[in-house]
């Protein structure tokens, strides 16, 4: 699993959670966001987000 972090403000987009603030459905891969999508917190462009590994919690 991967998450995406805004390099401008630190906002994390977690595909498991979606992005309720801008009406995105859960389970939407970051790559599927339109190029016009921006950080819901600070408005930074999509290309300001950096991919990070998210640790899986063992059940
Ligand atoms: Zn941001």
What integer pLDDT is reported at residue 45 of this predicted model? Answer: 96
**18 C-alpha to center of ligand 1: Å?**
15
Domain edges within the chain: 2-53
Q: What is the pTM of this model?
A: 0.75
- Per-residue CA distances from 37 to 6, 7, 11, 45, 47 (Å): 12, 15, 14, 7, 10
Domain range 2-53, CATH class: mainly beta
Model confidence pLDDT, tens digit, residues 3-51: 999 999 999 998 887 666 666 666 788 888 889 999 989 999 999 999 9
**40 C-alpha to center of ligand 1: Å?**
7
**14 C-alpha to center of ligand 1: Å?**
13
For residues 59 and 38, is the Cβ–Cβ distance under 8 A?
no
């Amino acid at each position: 699993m991967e998450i995406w972090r805004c390099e401008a403000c630190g906002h994390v987009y977690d595909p498991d959670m979606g992005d309720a603030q801008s009406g995105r459905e859960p389970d939407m891969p970051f790559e599927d966001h339109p190029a016009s999508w921006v950080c819901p917190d600070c408005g930074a462009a999509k290309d300001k987000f950096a991919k990070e590994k998210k640790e899986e919690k063992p059940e």
